Structure 1
Amino acid sequence: MKLIYISPLRYPSEKAGSQFSMKSCEAFADQGIAVELWAPYRWNQFGGEDPFLFHHVKKNFRIITLPALDLSPLLPFFFFLLSFSFAIAAFFYALFRKEKNILYYSHEPFALFLLTFITPLSRLQYGLAVGMKKIFKFISKGSIPYEKVGGFVQDRTVYEIHDFPGRSVLFWWLFRRLDAVVTTNQWKKKEITKRFSFDAGRILAVFNAVDVQMFAIDVLRSEARRKLNLPHEKRIILYTGHLFGWKGVDTLLAAHRFLDPDEVIYFVGGTNEDIEKFKSKAQIITFESRSSGRGKSKIQSVVIVGRRPHEEIPLWLRAADVLVLPNTALEDISKYYTSPVKLFEYMASGTSIVASDLPSVREIVSEEDVCFVKPDDPEALYEGIKRVLSDHNFAGEISRNAVLKSKSYTWPRRTSRILSWLANRPSPNYDGNRL
């Protein structure tokens, strides 16, 4: 079997989605199967860099670049045009390939939808082979292997859902034609079953993962700060990741007015555009704090670092006194859909975590692993941070529990579970309506 991972993202890229796809391909290949990553040719500010080195993954799979019309740098709307043109290129590239027994795996609905028109051809061969074997009594008493019958093989399509699909005709047809779905939490599995009448037995809910060896580094906090040139006398409150509004970064920024003089908030991550917007926002909040009579500005207690190499992030996590996951409850993507990769990285690091109390987060951790706080409330967020900073027994207990739990969320476990589940699923019945 060959797994083809289809993604319209840039490689290499500073985006978390690109890092996730590269780690997924590496982990699938580590399971002993051939893997290809199909991606569109796109304008890329990191175009001269090796994607395998950039994303810190082994070169155990191939990256196939397909033509696509990329005007997204001009207007975000053109990403739709990029996805559509890439989907057509992937369809024809797959159509004329001689290989069979392909597992098409993607988080991209457009490309996967077109590929579902290819897989019924192999499914028809599979059905004919089963019928012929029954007629001539060549079947053993055991069950028919799912992947291969008498030399005929079938291709399959699997949709891994990170966001939640809308109620569009595209998704209605897509779910009607898919072989299987992988979701990153139980909430999405239940909602897909309910909204799209999709068989729950064809959905696997499996959380995101972390490279434990990369993030569970044996480095003292003082040594990590020395390497990063961070102040030793400060108590560091750290957020890593993108600066999107639904990530709750505005709430953490607003909490700066409660900080003690020896406390400082560091923001690490974000695109260049988002960093500039966030810096402007920080200046506005500082001005408001100053003019509202709440005391002197504490903007010196906020440091916006910007994007850092992914391999440097474990040092930042070790250098901090507390890590913050301040997701908002005001958007469904944060409240229900997400399975935050940064949370798994936080857990593996051994540094104590303060997190918004949301259904999406509670699917992964409990009060034994993190300090939960009310979302979208800067003062409540700071109170949680202060508890971790002042109660060393509590902080040590939740960090130890989080480290232990993180070992259940490794990439090998995740991909092994997905492949085992797909291999053990009953063979799908051939349905002529899907041609």
Structure 2
Amino acid sequence: MQTTSVKLLYVANTRIPTEKAHGWAIMKMCESFALAGHAVELVLPKRKNPHFESVDAFHYYDIKKNFEIVFVPCPDLITITGRLPRLLGLLLGIIQNWLYARAVYGHLQKQHGAIIFSREHRLLYFLRTLPNKLVYEVHDFPERHKSWYQKLFERVDIVVVTNQWKKNEITKRFGTAEEKIFVAPNAIDVEAYAHPLSKQEARQKLSISQNKKIVLYMGGFQRWKGVYVLGEALQYLSNDIEVIFVGGGAEPDRGLFIEWLGQQGNDNFFVHDHVEHQYVPLWLWAADVLALPGTAEDKNAFYYTSPLKLFEYIASGRPVVMTDVPAVREVFERFGLDIPAAYVVPPDNAHVLAVALNNSIEQKGVSWPVLASHKLFLHTWQARARGIADFIEKC
């Protein structure tokens, strides 16, 4: 179904480009909404990221320039919060959110009839008095401040969630009508993986030894992502296996993990900086096996997430050893993925994770299935945006 050309304003209080994965996802959704028929405007604060001075976001993320990016003036208080005591940093974060919301409010007052789309609950709460249709895409889950969220869910017209668990919980805890909640898991960037390289070709381009046996992790180094479990697994891996950690996200999480990793007494790892999204497939193709560790100690990893890296990993065609948590299991069930048990491990068990990685590389047991023609590959970012756009039009 082709949507009518209604203007969609994607509002995000973030720096783009950014070393965090959400920056690419926001850009990809704006591109995909435009392809679905909307006139799209991405509204950002004028904040500086010293790591991306003079970097064009469209080029950096390899995104079609089919939408407009508008910067609204806003003091950049976020950059100094990391150097302050936690409570003072939180206070400055709230002030910065309010200042950005006030600037956005003035900009949006001129956008009569436009749809306002955002992942940010505080921002939408500030904008709730606008007459526009409001769409809230929930990524974290509102465990606290129930009355505050209650008002937000009552005001927004549409709630988009990335998994069924969140829809069920929002309906149960806040009484939100199921009819206004749309489930849209993260998606596959099919175009990026349309012309796969062999492991040998990818390694040649990256100047990686052809003789190494490589486990690769791509993503952030926050503890809730389970990366510390993979770090603990290093001691149990075969001597000829090296683990490459690519990315890390923002500080202080990246630096803390690297420091911790260096204290464990292992030398079978390598840490590479964050790479532009266009090079992500190349790194994945260079691996023997990809690691998706996990922990049950954090609800974000256990229930809330729809892991971007899982979709990227599967698109690469490389074997994936992954953690059996509800958030990952739901992807299997929704798309009918039949993953052999040998590639699925319990959370927080470094030894079992290492055994599965060893067995995968040594090709012991069941082979990784060929998934290239699976229906999951129909769940592209454009299909995701089109589904959301159709739902918005019906509501």
Q: Which residues of 2 match residues 209-358 of structure 1 at below 5 A? A: 209-271=187-249, 273=251, 274-286=253-265, 299-358=266-325
Structure 1 equivalent of residue 360 of structure 2 = 388
The alpha-carbon distance between structure 1 residues 167 and 259, as it changes in their structure 2 partners (threshold 3 A), is closer
Structure 2 equivalent of residue 292 of structure 1 = none
Structure 2 equivalent of residue 27 of structure 1 = 32
Counterpart of 1:341, as a letter, is L
Counterpart of 2:161, as a letter, is T
**Matched residues in 2 for 1:58 and 1:318: separation?**
24
Please say if residues 138 and 161 of structure 2, whose CA atoms lie closer than 8 Å, have aligned partners that are also in contact. yes
Give unpaired runs (5+ residues) of structure 1: 120-154, 287-298, 426-435
Give 1 or 2 for the bigger CA radius of gyration: 1
Give the TM-score normalised by structure 1: 0.83
Structure 1 equivalent of residue 13 of structure 2 = 8
Q: Which residues of 2 match residues 27-426 of structure 1 at below 5 A? A: 27-45=32-50, 46-76=52-82, 77=89, 78-95=92-109, 97=110, 99-119=111-131, 155-168=132-145, 169-271=147-249, 273=251, 274-286=253-265, 299-365=266-332, 368-369=338-339, 371-391=343-363, 394-397=366-369, 400-401=370-371, 404-425=374-395
1:369-392 C-alpha deviation (Å, 9 max, x unpaired): 361101111101012212322337
Counterpart of 2:71, as a letter, is T
**Matched residues in 1 for 2:14 and 2:250: separation?**
17
Counterpart of 1:417, as a letter, is G
**Matched residues in 2 for 1:94 and 1:265: separation?**
47
Runs of 4+ with >4 A deviation: none
Please say if residues 238 and 358 of structure 2, whose CA atoms lie closer than 8 Å, have aligned partners that are also in contact. no
1:289-314 C-alpha deviation (Å, 9 max, x unpaired): xxxxxxxxxx3311111212221110
Counterpart of 2:201, as a letter, is E
**Matched residues in 1 for 2:308 and 2:94: separation?**
25
**Matched residues in 1 for 2:241 and 2:250: separation?**
26
Q: CA RMSD in A?
A: 1.7
Please say if residues 359 and 365 of structure 2, whose CA atoms lie closer than 8 Å, have aligned partners that are also in contact. no
Give unpaired runs (5+ residues) of structure 2: 1-5, 83-88
**Matched residues in 1 for 2:330 and 2:249: separation?**
29
Please say if residues 41 and 67 of structure 1, whose CA atoms lie closer than 8 Å, have aligned partners that are also in contact. yes
Query: Residue 80 of structure 1: CA displacement?
Result: 2.3
1:242-285 C-alpha deviation (Å, 9 max, x unpaired): 10001111110111111212211010001463333222111211
Counterpart of 1:278, as a letter, is F
**Matched residues in 1 for 2:143 and 2:153: separation?**
12
**Matched residues in 1 for 2:249 and 2:309: separation?**
16
Matched residue of 2:295: which SS? Answer: coil
Query: Residue 328 of structure 1: CA displacement?
Result: 1.0
Structure 2 equivalent of residue 18 of structure 1 = 23
**Matched residues in 2 for 1:394 and 1:349: separation?**
19
Matched residue of 2:97: which SS? Answer: helix
Matched residue of 1:395: which SS? Answer: coil
The alpha-carbon distance between structure 1 residues 181 and 37, as it changes in their structure 2 partners (threshold 3 A), is same
The alpha-carbon distance between structure 1 residues 348 and 186, as it changes in their structure 2 partners (threshold 3 A), is same
1:168-189 C-alpha deviation (Å, 9 max, x unpaired): 2431211111111000000000
Q: Give the share of equivalent positions with the same residue, in percent.
A: 37
Counterpart of 2:183, as a letter, is A
Choose 249-258 or 272-281, whichever is displaced more.
272-281
**Matched residues in 2 for 1:44 and 1:70: separation?**
10
1:9-57 C-alpha deviation (Å, 9 max, x unpaired): 1011111111110000000001121000011111211131111111110
Q: Which has the higher contact order (CA 8 A, sep 6+)?
A: 2
1:47-74 C-alpha deviation (Å, 9 max, x unpaired): 3111111111011101111122221221
**Matched residues in 2 for 1:216 and 1:317: separation?**
14
Matched residue of 1:73: which SS? Answer: helix
The alpha-carbon distance between structure 1 residues 402 and 389, as it changes in their structure 2 partners (threshold 3 A), is farther
Choose 77-86 or 258-267, whichever is displaced more.
77-86
